[in-house]
Amino acid sequence: MSEERTVGAIAVAAVALVALVLSAGALVTAARDGGTPAAVAVPAAVSSDAPAEVSVELSEFAITPGAIEIAAGGTLQVTNVGVAQHDLSIVDTGLATPMLNAGQSASLDLSSLAPGTYEVLCTVAGHASGGMIGTLTVIGDGEAATPVASGGGHGAHSPSNPDIDWAGLDQAMHDSIGAFPAETEGVGNQPLEPTILEDGTKRFELTAEIIEWEVEPGKIVEGWSYNGQIPGPHIRAEVGDKVEVVVTNDLPLGTDVHWHGIILDNEMDGVAPLTQDLIQPGESFTYAFTAVEKHVAMYHPHHHSQFKIPNGMWGTIQVGDVDLPEPGSTIGGRTLPDDLTIAQEFPMVVNDAGTIGMSLNGKSFPATAPIVAKKGDNILMHYYNEGLQIHPMHLHGFPQLVVAKDGFPLDQPYWADTVNVAPGERYSVLVTAEHVGAWVFHCHILTHAETDEGMYGMVTAFIVEE
Ligand SMILES: [Cu+2]
């Protein structure tokens, strides 16, 4: 992917479009002669193999399917399956459904649309940037539809579907894995150095700002960030520290910062306008608290978090060290090393929506950072879920010992090769790099890790050297 891209509000649509075009080019080999593949049911009124009627669901915050394909002259049946009001607008065409309340449906006649690809979105403020954006491809007579990635009809990925280029699928996976690890601009989670005030208070400074963020090679999105990083900078304090965080708002709307998991006074909880006034664009607000106990916590906006967080506004904050089990102790039949010195400690922030999409620490495979360890190293990893979905994080090769939940040490740590992390949760896991090799580490919701274009999203590797 080396094309020059327009960066900004339409970047996501452009990338989605390019991806669609690439997938069509790479994977469709048949049915360009106007013939009808035998395995495909064709609605009576059209001679394309695309359906004449497609059901589309609107929800918080997705348009499903995200890449709609329909025959020229077709009709969309649009249903709001969410809880808020939504609509579906086809950009620059004047076509849109009425605003739909939860549970309402509407038909959208596309007979005025020429074959081609259009951008679709929900026009409610913030919903498109929250994820309610997609593409609509109107397919003319005799054109082939793209193979459906999952869930659709068409006998997708069935040996009876003549549209599938099986060798192309093999090649796409091979090429995507060969691109790992890929260099991209920007690294998140860098330690934030405080200014030490006269009374010993540690003062940290955060600026909320919109940046260009390279999620994967060549894919530059509008990232909502702290200090130009996704994840935002890592804040570290010790129990007993007096902490101040000065937050400056360079966003186009008001904001606040919620300290998710930190025990502090109500007026510092960051829920505007309940516990404080909104921090208006151009203004600053100082959060202050004394760290009273150990925490594995995260910070993010509470005000319109539904699009700010998916678009990248989150960071990690830790107070003290997580308590570990006794070295050499036996848990669940496995004995821990006698030396539990931690060789590496780092966050694993998972996200799945907005402009950042399926990602680990703000990057999508192949731009995810590999974990590189020496055999026998002990690694302490903290999962944080800043997304909208649950993610079962599966490590090949050796198990993870879950030692803390939301920063609270467990009386009975437990072993797992797959740790399920729900939105808002943190799990701290201790991993001993027992076996040499390049071990895959990924979300086990398979469509968060692979597509027809190969490996993507929530995948990295745990590389153990001798
Ligand atoms: Cu997942």
Model confidence at 227: pLDDT above 70: yes
Residue 149: predicted pLDDT:
44
Query: Tokens 């954006």 label which residue?
Result: 133
Query: Both tokens of residue 378?
Result: 């002990």
- Distance (Å) from CA 430 to ligand 1 centroid: 21
Question: What mean pLDDT comes out for the span 222-233?
Answer: 98
Same fold, 11-164 and 195-465: yes
Q: Ligand 1: distance of its center to the CA of 451 in Å?
A: 13
pLDDT-derived band at 140, boundaries 50, 70, 90: confident
Q: What is the Å distance from ligand 1's center to 438 Cα?
A: 21
**pLDDT, greater one: 7 or 148:** 148
Q: Mean pLDDT over residues 68-77, rounded?
A: 91
Residue 457 CA to ligand 1 center (angstroms) comes to 9
For the residues 115-141, what does the mean pLDDT come to? Answer: 86
Torsion of CA 416, 422, 428, 430, to 10 degrees: 20
- State residue 392's pLDDT score: 98
What pLDDT is stored for residue 161 in this prediction?
80
Give 392 Cα–ligand 1 centroid separation in angstroms.
6
Q: Supply the CATH classification number for the domain 11-164.
A: 2.60.40.420
Dump pLDDT digits (tens) for 40-53.
333 333 345 788 89
Q: Give 126's DSSP letter.
A: T
Q: Is the pLDDT of residue 270 over 50?
A: yes
Average pLDDT over residues 240-247: 98
CATH 2.60.40.420 matches 195-465: yes
Is the model more confident about 157 or about 316?
316
- Cα separation values, 83 from 78, 79, 86, 106, 302, Å: 15, 12, 9, 16, 19
Three-state DSSP state, 307: helix
The pTM of the full predicted model, rounded to 2 decimals, is 0.71
Is residue 220's pLDDT more than 60? Answer: yes
Question: Among the listed ranges 10-19, 122-131, 162-171, which one has the minimum average pLDDT value?
Answer: 10-19
pLDDT tens for residues 77-105? 999 887 778 999 999 898 999 999 888 89
- Which of 70-74, 210-214, 310-314, 438-442 has the least mean pLDDT? 70-74
| Domain residue limits, the chain | 11-164, 195-465
- Rounded to the nearest angstrom, the distance between the alpha carbon of 56 and the centre of ligand 1 is 23
Q: Is the pLDDT of residue 427 over 70?
A: yes
- Residue 127 Cα to ligand 1 midpoint, Å, equals 22
Residue 25 has pLDDT above 50, yes or no: no
Residue 38 clears pLDDT 90, i.e. is over it: no
DSSP state of 205: E
CA of 232 to the centre of ligand 1 (A): 21
Nearest-angstrom CA–CA distance, 16 and 67: 8
Sequence-separated (6 or more) residues with CB below 8 Å from residue 193: none
pLDDT (mean) for 385-412: 97
Tell me, what's the pLDDT at 48? Answer: 55
Q: What is the mean pLDDT of residues 301-319?
A: 97
